[in-house]
Copies of this chain bind each other. A is one copy, B any other.
């Protein structure tokens, strides 16, 4: 956080304007909008917002910024939860959202090629016309480039994988402006180092992603959602892990604690029971869905699950998942004037109930309101903790508490982040988790590929 701030001169901004057909803005409201994300990190304005129209323009911008040592921070939807888009060392925000074309849809190969600034919901709207969908669903309407950069995952990852499994190929621009293409349109690939997976989750620090080839799926014949409640959190979590261990092909499996349910009820005008709740979704043939659901019902009964309730129809199903996805905003709405802090830890599935209980024990000795939800079938859970933004010491305290929880989770074989990434807040945790030798390898790769350290400096590790 102590990176020194690079100033960008008026002449440099003028030069950038000459490099591209897209806009270069220094309007305050635009700078403000690009200086914040959904995290609790305080906003920081970039010196300018530069909006390229194509890969060549990205290349020209990077080449110039590399010469001038101007930091470049890619910006999509600004939905990061770890401060990824904050220009902590100054520099420009590279707004990718004008590069939002669907280049081609290939139903026969179950793949699509898009520009990085396309939003995932816009893609899915278009794909639906062909009976297809792109599976990764982090809730927020992120851009696909942002989802590649943060290695996004979400509610359907248990069935369809995260970005890591769904990105086939990329076009990306290196710090010096060199354009590379990595990966292929094939399902299998064994040709040299897996640079695709190196860029997925690299948080804008190794290259700017401009084009993406993604796997897509046929919309299942039948999709059905259901909820079920449990007397305790442990029952619910253990039921979910039992379902996973049985190998039942659930499409989604989400846990919400009673407080999350209360938030969601208020925000989405629902009247679910305020109890530990699992949300399920099943995809397949009508017969397969029924069979899966019956297996799940049997298992949850063993864990004291009751009130298994189907979403009545497609509109009820959509409403249910919208409510689940809105829980972040529902929590914010229920805590007016407060600032939410979202954690993101994951453990091996057998340790999930212990992990959540450990975190709750830690939080119990503090005054901050919090709620729990999780992609339980993946062992990944979030705590949503609220502080008073007028009392900055509260945020400092939450950061300490979060770090305490992370240390406990790491000791259980878990990770400090299942899907949000390292960004600004988990730099220390990464070292504790994977060891300084492995972080040194990351740093070595970064230094070699971005020797001027212009690409999103100060994220993932200290430079």
Residue pair A348, B437 in contact (C-beta under 8 Å):
no
Residues of B with C-beta under 8 A to A326: none
Query: Any chain B CB within 8 A of the CB of A426?
Result: yes
Give 5 nearest A-B pairs by CB, closest first: A197-B197, A108-B350, A188-B418, A109-B348, A186-B346
Task: Give the most central of A244, A438, A449, A460: most B CB within 10 Å.
Answer: A438
- A411-441 near B? 1/0 per residue, CB < 8 Å: 0011111111110001001100111011111
- A150 to B, closest residue via Cβ: B190
Report how far A188 CA is from B422 CA in the complex, Å.
Answer: 14
Query: Any chain B CB within 8 A of the CB of A182?
Result: yes
List 17 other contacts, CB 8 Å, given A180-B438, A187-B379.
A108-B350, A162-B188, A180-B435, A181-B434, A181-B438, A182-B438, A185-B348, A186-B413, A186-B415, A186-B418, A188-B346, A188-B419, A190-B344, A192-B201, A217-B247, A220-B247, A445-B445
Residues of A within 8 A of B (CB): 106-111, 150-151, 153, 157, 161-162, 164-165, 174, 178-182, 184-195, 197-198, 200-202, 206, 217-218, 220, 241, 244-247, 249, 285, 287-288, 291, 295, 344, 346-351, 375, 378-380, 413-422, 426, 429-430, 433-435, 437-442, 444-445, 447-449, 460-461
Give the contacting residue for A191; candidates B206, B378, B433; CB below 8 A: B433
Task: Give the most central of A186, A206, A348, A449: most B CB within 10 Å.
Answer: A186
Report how far A419 CA is from B180 CA in the complex, Å.
Answer: 22
Q: Looking at the assembled complex, report how far the CB atom of A64 sits from the nearest CB atom of chain B, in whole angstroms.
A: 19
Give 21 A-B contacts (CB < 8 Å), ordered by A residue. Answer: A106-B348, A108-B350, A109-B351, A157-B188, A162-B188, A165-B165, A180-B434, A181-B435, A181-B438, A184-B414, A186-B346, A186-B347, A186-B380, A186-B414, A186-B418, A188-B418, A189-B415, A191-B429, A192-B201, A195-B442, A285-B295
Residues of B with C-beta under 8 A to A182: 434, 438
Give the contacting residue for A444; candidates B246, B440, B449; CB below 8 A: B449
Report how far A206 CA is from B165 CA in the complex, Å.
Answer: 23
Residue pair A164, B426 in contact (C-beta under 8 Å):
no
Residues of B with C-beta under 8 A to A181: 434-435, 438
Residue pair B434, A346 in contact (C-beta under 8 Å):
no
Residue pair A179, B437 in contact (C-beta under 8 Å):
yes
